[in-house]
Amino acid sequence: MTKPKILKVAIPAVPFFQLFEYLAPENGENLQAGIRLEVPFGKTSKVAFLLATSSESDFPIEKLKPITHVIDDAPLLAEIDLKLLDWVANYYHHPIGEVMSAAFPAALRQGKDAVIKKLPKQSETDIKTTQLICNEGQQNAIDTVTKSFNEFNVFLLDGVTGSGKTEVYMQLIQTVLNRRQQVLVLVPEITLTPQLQQRFQARFSTHIAISHSKLTDLQRKNAWLLMQSGVCSLLLGTRSALFTPLPNLGLIILDEEHDSSFKQQEGFRFSARDVAVMRGKLANVPVVLGSATPSLESLYNVFLERYQHLPLPERAGNALPPLVQIIDIRQQKLQAGLSLKLLETITATLEKNEQILLFLNRRGFAPTLICDGCGWVARCVHCDANLVIHRNKNLLRCHHCGTEHRLISTCPACHCRDLTSLGLGTERLELVLTHLFPEKKVIRLDRDSTSKKGALDDFLTQIHNGDAHIILGTQLLAKGHHFPNVTLVAILDVDSGLFSTDFHSGEKLAQLIVQVSGRSGREQKQGNVLLQTRQPTHPLLIELLRDGYAKFAESELRLREMAFLPPFSYQALLRAHSEKEDLPQIFLQSVADLARNLNLQNVQILGAIPAPMARRAGQYRFQLLFQHENRAALHRLLRELIAQISTLKLATKVRWSLDVDPVDLF
């Protein structure tokens, strides 16, 4: 008698770490890993992914159920894709079913047919626009990466804004396309895809597949299948595009590699940058990480000679570096956060018909509504946070849980009518600027003003064709955009970044200052950057402005080394939350006890302590931090711990999640 064939499958959205076993159908001997199946699960049926077959099971065979049916004739994922996903599930200690589902667009997860209806017209990949003549740094970067085609190497393209990194990418892409291989290009933000897409379209005649979360299910499925089938050669997308199967992969490019948007901050918390490097390693292809402000991790990897450094120290063409100045705003009267000096510079810039970019990282009208009569403050009942005033929508809104109330004019505590809007948000700044410069067009770019489809494109057009004079916005503006006529950039409030408890904050602030500065004077005109601060002698600011980002990064790395912080150690953060106040702490305390019992390698276990925002969306939140200088030792403990955590009494009563290499300790 032949032994029955057993199928080991991953099931999405099921928080289990192991594979599920089913019986193969008759004549199912040749089913291959990488296909989708439908399987009975509880009272329903689910789409599952076949990962392995076997003739043996740890379970009694007669208890196994047969699958319902086979969806795909041929595997959608190749062996190398499965290998990567398996590595990722292990590294992030995340349930394999959820990792697998991240690799598929929603339509395929739901079991829809894996066929593309409309194929894009393909033309030969000739060069459309003429390419520029490269400078020495660019040519060196191109030559070095080109020598490494067909082997794994990580390159850090470390080029100031406007130094011509994109030009380097495009020439490398061209070579890979000529070799009939595929290229994966990742950017941190959806808003950065249109401009890169345009530049690619002007350069290459090949079809460009786009993948990010604002597309429809059908669009995403099509992009996925175009790449997976090898029909299309160039994929441009955000973090979620990372797992798209690419049978002829030749090169991975990740732009703005320092950006924390590459780290998924909920659910399956992977770092697209780190996984991209592993993907390059498995596929044996070069990975190019580009940034004007490289992360400390990547710079440290350069120091360790794991990554190759490709510096582009100068702006391309004739563009000059911007002039950066600090404005001391202590004891100054500010008008809606604007100092006299800044207002004068704005006026002078407008007179020259040049554009201005003002940066304020706070949405809404004002962050606090307070009663002058009794001191009452509008708080969110579900979070440890104030409600933010949104005048345009006539709302009070919590930025952490989304709770909304009508904007009130009477104090609910003392019934007086003396409610004051305290502080400054982008809406208020917009209003004030419109009053101060009535004949000028002011536009505001933040998550509220760009939420409608097409809104951001409209704004970008208005900036590019010169209709907009003053552009104000949040960090949405800080990234990668190229505005040739902007010559004045100002950060209204640098100080909020100087006093965070998170050790990443110095690095993030320095990156922000340099990135925002990079938005000014990108072509022939001299750019000016003004930083308003009440800490004009703060070492970070002084050092950054005097010595530049590279020197800043060096001394910041030295500080991290002395404190044993990443990248000199490795961290994982276990978070727990519950509606019941004491459960998360009790749970994490028992996890900590369990971990201490298992801990042969002396992994540091810190906590449990309340999360920086101890209550959010009605949930009480605690966290437990693990840290060790040896990555393998940390992961050995985590593996054991995760395997045993379900034996704890409270494991099913609280919600918990593990964040490996956290970038945000919130």
User: Which residues of the chain form contacts with Zn ion (CB under 5 A)?
Assistant: 371, 373-374, 376, 380, 382-383, 398, 400-401, 403, 411, 413-414
Nearer to Zn ion, 411 or 433 (CB): 411
CB 373, min distance to Zn ion, A? 4
323, 350, 416, 457, 481 from 357: Cα distances, Å: 15, 11, 39, 17, 12
Rule CB under 6 A: say whether 167 interacts with ligand ADP.
yes
Partnered with residue 263 across adjacent β-strands are 271
Among positions 113-142, residues that touch ligand ADP (CB under 6 A) are 132-135, 138
d(CA 168, CA 142): 6
d(CA 1, CA 451): 63
Rule CB under 6 A: say whether 237 interacts with ligand ADP.
no
Count the alpha carbons within 13 Å of 18 in the hemisphere toward its beta carbon. Answer: 6
Residue 639 tokens, joined: 């593996």
Contact 426, 444 (CB under 8 A): yes
3-state secondary structure of 423: coil
Nearer to ligand ADP, 221 or 479 (CB): 479
Among positions 473-492, residues that touch ligand ADP (CB under 6 A) are 482
Contact 366, 421 (CB under 8 A): yes
Among positions 514-533, residues that touch ligand ADP (CB under 6 A) are none
Nearer to ligand ADP, 133 or 304 (CB): 133
Q: Indicate which of Zn ion, ligand ADP, none lies near residue 289 (CB less than 5 to 8 Å, by partner kind).
A: none
Nearer to ligand ADP, 64 or 134 (CB): 134
Nearer to ligand ADP, 50 or 316 (CB): 316
Nearer to Zn ion, 343 or 385 (CB): 385
| 3-class SS shares of the chain: helix, strand, coil, % to 5 | 30, 25, 45
d(CA 3, CA 637): 38
Q: In degrees to the nearest 10, what's the CA dihedral of 255, 260, 265, 270?
A: 50
CB 519, min distance to ligand ADP, A? 10
CB 193, min distance to Zn ion, A? 31
Question: Which residue in the set 166, 182, 228, 599 belongs to the binding site for ligand ADP (CB under 6 A)?
Answer: 166
Rule CB under 6 A: say whether 511 interacts with ligand ADP.
no
CB 162, min distance to ligand ADP, A? 4
- Taking CB under 6 A as the binding criterion, the range among 156-164, 258-266, 397-405, 583-591 that sits at the site for ligand ADP is 156-164
d(CA 238, CA 212): 5
Nearer to Zn ion, 398 or 470 (CB): 398
Partnered with residue 356 across adjacent β-strands are 470, 488
Nearer to ligand ADP, 164 or 662 (CB): 164
Residue 664 tokens, joined: 């945000």
Phi, psi values for residue 530, rounded to 5°:
-120, 130
Nearer to ligand ADP, 164 or 250 (CB): 164
Contact 578, 654 (CB under 8 A): yes
Q: Indicate which of ligand ADP, Zn ion, none lies near residue 412 (CB less than 5 to 8 Å, by partner kind).
A: none
Q: Is 202 exposed, middle or buried (0-12, 13-18, 19+ CB in 10 A)?
A: exposed
Q: Indicate which of Zn ion, ligand ADP, none lies near residue 413 (CB less than 5 to 8 Å, by partner kind).
A: Zn ion
Q: In degrees to the nearest 10, what's the CA dihedral of 164, 169, 171, 175?
A: 170
CB 203, min distance to ligand ADP, A? 11
Q: Indicate which of ligand ADP, Zn ion, none lies near residue 371 (CB less than 5 to 8 Å, by partner kind).
A: Zn ion
CB 137, min distance to ligand ADP, A? 9
Rule CB under 6 A: say whether 574 interacts with ligand ADP.
no
Applying CB under 6 A, the site for ligand ADP has a residue count of 16
Sequence-ordered strand ranges (E) for 208-268 = 208-211, 234-237, 249-255
d(CA 44, CA 61): 21
Q: Indicate which of Zn ion, ligand ADP, none lies near residue 400 (CB less than 5 to 8 Å, by partner kind).
A: Zn ion
CB 611, min distance to Zn ion, A? 14
Q: Indicate which of Zn ion, ligand ADP, none lies near residue 411 (CB less than 5 to 8 Å, by partner kind).
A: Zn ion
CB 169, min distance to ligand ADP, A? 8
- Helix segments in 563-663, DSSP class H: 583-598, 631-645
- Residue (of 229, 215, 220, 10) closest to 107 by Cα position: 220
Binding pattern to ligand ADP, positions 307-346, x when CB under 6 A? ---------xx-----------------------------
Q: Is 454 exposed, middle or buried (0-12, 13-18, 19+ CB in 10 A)?
A: exposed
Nearer to ligand ADP, 159 or 497 (CB): 159
Location of structure tokens 């043996």: 56
Nearer to ligand ADP, 132 or 413 (CB): 132
Q: Which residues here bind ligand ADP, judged by CB under 6 A?
A: 132-135, 138, 159, 161-167, 316-317, 482
